[in-house]
């Protein structure tokens, strides 16, 4: 994988977030304040514009850093700093290399999850994006360890993120604005975990198309 | 069952521009007090930086007007950083504000305890430190409706924010140093408690429909300031009974000393008229006195709102001589003015 994979991933994420923006906002209205879709969409729109100015020769890690900084500067709320931190850590994990393999991608995803946990202090089960990201990072590592081809492994990671997001429904929120609702947060899918699953699905689509 | 049709009754041009257009309007109305930096998306007090004065900055999502922009001016804030409606501002805004108002005596960031606000202000304080500006951050978390435990993001910053900005602003104006101003702000937060009640939801301009549906005859108890549902939904009742719930929630947690002097702040959420707010204040005043307290100062009006939500919050601040004097000190901002 090279810079093009990252560009495809973030462009795919931009499109997916845009098309599911209303759904995310709807989830957020139930247990937050109904703007998650709008905020993420604004951020990924800006990422698209920021990356359009980057040449094909930009190292993939650098692209992620630019995307992370853009999200911090445009999303606001908690999602801005959290995704900003995730992508910047992932970018740092990739370093200056021009191309990277599955193991390096798994390192980057691990670093991203660590960034989110360091900043947000959420644990698994708190009904946050960690509940989608952590299973995804584990699945990617396990699949690669078991010798799965890259596209299968990333698809498994995306699938784990999706299941992880769905598994937030019965959870009681312990972090973020949904935690103010206490028991009333139970029965709703977490919007942050859902957008994380969308972004992982976009990664899988980008890796698939990189193989074409 | 009737179908409720929601139409947005708001004065708007493009909903995406509501915050910027409102900020420009505020600055146009009060050019003697504030300047709007449209590029940095901040409101800055006219005449800043004031050399040798501790500078106070606050910020948060929009939709709570007049908080925070309406409190920029003499004796209160030096800058405000407004985010999108109900969305925390971004670190670049706080950094720009910090640099714009730093008069060499230190900068205090007043941060309401919401996950997004805390993270974005934290990143901004780190950036400011990199540029050689020391920032003291003060967290406001006075909302008793949220239990402060490992199971929540902690108590929300609500009504006490207004009182803290006024009192800390007066102290900064007097020339107190940055440690003293920050310590005072933390003391105000520590001696304040709030509880809010909603009679309706509210409609963020970008969403175009109410955040939640509240059927006739029901109220939300324990709300914050983002149109989010409260801790519980119950049948409506008289103002007297609602104030009983608010006073009990606030006093049982604040546990003020007997015969304390207090400041009682009855705050409208945006859609409740002064007629009802003063009715509530009458109840609050009676019930606080019945509880053995002396409400020697008060503030009644819509100062920290949730768009056009109908509802109100009560904040009680336990006072001492210093706090009374600072509360009474002159203030001249778009939304709060006395003594000048």
Structure confidence at residue B231 as a pLDDT band (50, 70, 90): confident
B10 Cβ neighbours under 8 A, 6+ residues apart:
B203, B205
Report the gap between the CA of B166 and the closest CA in chain A (Å): 25
Assess B91–A contact: CB distance below 8 Å, yes or no. Answer: yes
| Residue tagged 């019945």 (tokens) | B290
Predicted TM-score (pTM) of the model is 0.90
Structure confidence at residue B6 as a pLDDT band (50, 70, 90): low
Overall average pLDDT of the B92-103 stretch: 97
Q: What is the CATH number of domain B192-318?
A: 3.30.1180.20
Domain boundaries, chain B: 18-190, 192-318
Assess B303–A contact: CB distance below 8 Å, yes or no. Answer: no
Strands (E), chain B: 34-37, 42-45, 55-62, 79-85, 107-112, 135-140, 192-198, 218-221, 232-235, 261-268, 294-301, 311-318, 331-332, 337-338
CB distance A34 to B61 below 8 Å: no
Does pLDDT of B1 surpass 50? no
Per DSSP, the residues of B274-333 read: HHHHHHHHHHHHHHHHHTT-EEEEEEEE-SS--TTB-EEEEEEEE--HHHHHHHHS-EE-
Does pLDDT of B94 surpass 60? yes
CB distance A130 to A200 below 8 Å: no
B274-307 tens-digit pLDDT:
999 999 999 999 999 999 999 999 999 999 999 9
Structure confidence at residue B146 as a pLDDT band (50, 70, 90): confident
Percent of chain B, pLDDT > 90? 87
Pairing of β B107-112 and β B135-140 = parallel
Q: How far is CA A173 from CA A87, A123, A190, B149, in A?
A: 24, 11, 8, 12
- What is the fold of B18-190? Rossmann fold (3.40.50)
Active-site residue identified among B30, B68, B109, B226: B226
Q: Is B6 a catalytic residue?
A: no
A13-67 tens-digit pLDDT:
999 999 999 999 989 988 887 889 999 999 999 999 999 988 778 999 999 999 9
* Topology agreement, domain B18-190 and domain B192-318: no
Q: Is B240 a catalytic residue?
A: no
pLDDT of amino acid B80 = 98
Distance CA B39, CA B87 (A): 18
* Minimum-distance CB partner of B119 among A25, A78, A180: A78
Longest dimension (CA), chain A: 50
User: Which residues of A fall within a CB distance of 8 Å from B206?
Assistant: 35, 38
pLDDT of amino acid B155 = 93
In chain A, what are the domains?
3-211 (1.25.40.340)
Residue ranges of chain A whose pLDDT lies below 70: 211-212
For an interface test with A, give the residue of B207, B214, B218 to mutate (most A CBs within 10 A).
B207
């Amino acid at each position: 994988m090279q810079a093009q994979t990252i560009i495809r991933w973030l462009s795919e994420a931009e499109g997916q977030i845009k098309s599911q923006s209303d759904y995310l906002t709807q989830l957020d209205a139930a247990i937050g304040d109904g703007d998650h879709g709008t905020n993420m969409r604004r951020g990924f729109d800006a990422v698209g514009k920021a990356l359009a100015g980057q040449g094909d020769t930009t190292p993939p890690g650098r692209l992620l850093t630019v995307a992370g900084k853009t999200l911090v500067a445009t999303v606001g709320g908690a999602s801005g700093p959290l995704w900003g931190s995730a992508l910047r850590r992932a970018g740092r994990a990739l370093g200056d290399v021009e191309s990277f393999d599955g193991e390096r991608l798994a390192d980057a995803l691990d670093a991203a999850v660590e960034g989110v946990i360091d900043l947000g202090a959420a644990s698994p089960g708190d009904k946050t994006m960690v509940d989608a990201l952590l299973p995804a990072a584990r699945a990617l590592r396990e699949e690669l360890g078991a010798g799965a081809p890259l596209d299968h492994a990333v698809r498994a990671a995306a699938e784990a993120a999706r299941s992880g997001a769905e598994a937030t429904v019965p959870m009681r929120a312990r972090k973020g604005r949904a935690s103010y609702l206490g028991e009333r947060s139970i029965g709703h899918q977490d919007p942050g975990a859902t957008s994380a699953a969308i972004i992982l699905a976009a990664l899988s689509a980008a890796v698939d198309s990189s193989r074409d | 069952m009737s179908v409720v049709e929601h139409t947005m009754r708001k004065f708007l041009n493009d909903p995406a521009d509501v915050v910027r257009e409102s900020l420009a309007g505020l600055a146009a109305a009060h050019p003697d007090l504030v300047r709007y930096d449209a590029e940095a998306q901040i409101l800055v007090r006219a005449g800043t930086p004031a050399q040798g004065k501790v500078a106070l900055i606050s910020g948060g999502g929009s939709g709570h007007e007049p908080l925070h922009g309406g409190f920029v001016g003499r004796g209160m804030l030096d800058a405000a950083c407004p985010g999108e409606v109900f969305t925390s501002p971004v670190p670049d805004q706080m950094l720009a504000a910090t640099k714009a108002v730093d008069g060499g005596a230190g900068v205090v960031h007043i941060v309401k305890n919401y996950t997004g606000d805390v993270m974005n202000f934290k990143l901004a304080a780190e950036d400011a430190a990199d540029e050689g500006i020391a920032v003291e951050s003060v967290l406001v978390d006075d909302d008793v409706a949220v239990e402060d435990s490992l199971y929540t993001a902690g108590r929300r910053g609500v009504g006490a924010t207004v009182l803290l900005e006024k009192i800390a602003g007066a102290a900064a104006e007097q020339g107190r140093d940055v440690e003293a101003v920050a310590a005072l702000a933390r003391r105000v937060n520590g001696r304040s408690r709030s509880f809010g009640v909603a009679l309706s939801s509210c409609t963020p301009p970008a969403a175009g429909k109410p955040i939640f549906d509240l059927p006739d005859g029901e109220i939300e108890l324990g709300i914050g300031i983002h149109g989010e549902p409260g801790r519980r939904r119950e049948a409506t009742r008289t103002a007297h009974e609602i104030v009983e719930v608010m006073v009990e929630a606030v006093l049982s947690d604040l546990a003020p000393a007997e015969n304390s002097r207090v400041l009682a702040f009855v705050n409208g959420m945006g859609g409740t008229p002064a007629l009802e707010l003063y009715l509530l204040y009458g109840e609050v005043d009676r019930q606080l006195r019945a509880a053995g307290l002396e409400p020697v100062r008060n503030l009644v009006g819509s100062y920290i709102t949730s768009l056009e939500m109908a509802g109100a919050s009560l904040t009680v601040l336990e006072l001492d001589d210093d706090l009374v004097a600072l509360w009474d000190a002159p203030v001249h901002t778009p939304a709060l003015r006395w003594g000048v």
